[in-house]
Structure 1
Amino acid sequence: MEKDNDNKVIKILIGVVVILSTIILLSGVFYILNMQKKIIKLEEKQKEQFKPQIEKSVPTTEVVQPQTNNETKEQIQQATNSKVSSQKSKKNSSKKQTIN
């Protein structure tokens, strides 16, 4: 008779442990899913807050027509000429400063 009572108590304890462990497992899953939803909502709010700033900082794209070789050569020559002239003016100004 004691063995029957012991077996019943063991079965009840096993049932309680199984039920408690499933409750803990399900509450953990529910908690994780709930937190994911909150994170998604916060990310959406953050995107909405930064949307005007992003739109202001995004540069507008311009359509550039392809240049011919002659045009690019002229631009390179102009750039080098301006660099040389600026270097000459810097040298002249530095010479004037040393003279003074």
Structure 2
Amino acid sequence: MTSFDDREKGFERKFALDEEQDFKATARRNRMLAEWAAGLMGLETPDEYIRAVIKSDFEQPGDDDVLRKVFGDLKGSGVAATEGEVRMKMDELLAVAREQIKAGN
């Protein structure tokens, strides 16, 4: 095997690891976002809502489905939050989730 082949394999492993970490960070972010929203809505038992938010992420690629779900639910329950505020919370929680995964938590 040449050094070029070794280098290519190394890039492939790094790409796979990065993709796995991104998936885990997004899943963790969605869970934390659902917990945050459930708290704002005053849900006594947020477990079912958390599962619904996590499930909404599989509807289509990207974050828009999760944003629509959480923002719509907040709006429907009378919580005064803008779509921009929910998006900012998503970004904030994604950064937290990435740090937690890097730290091995």
Q: Same fold (TM over 0.5)?
A: no
TM-score, reference length from structure 1: 0.38
- Higher relative helix content: 1
Q: Which has the higher Rg, Structure 1 or Structure 2?
A: 1
TM-score, reference length from structure 2: 0.37
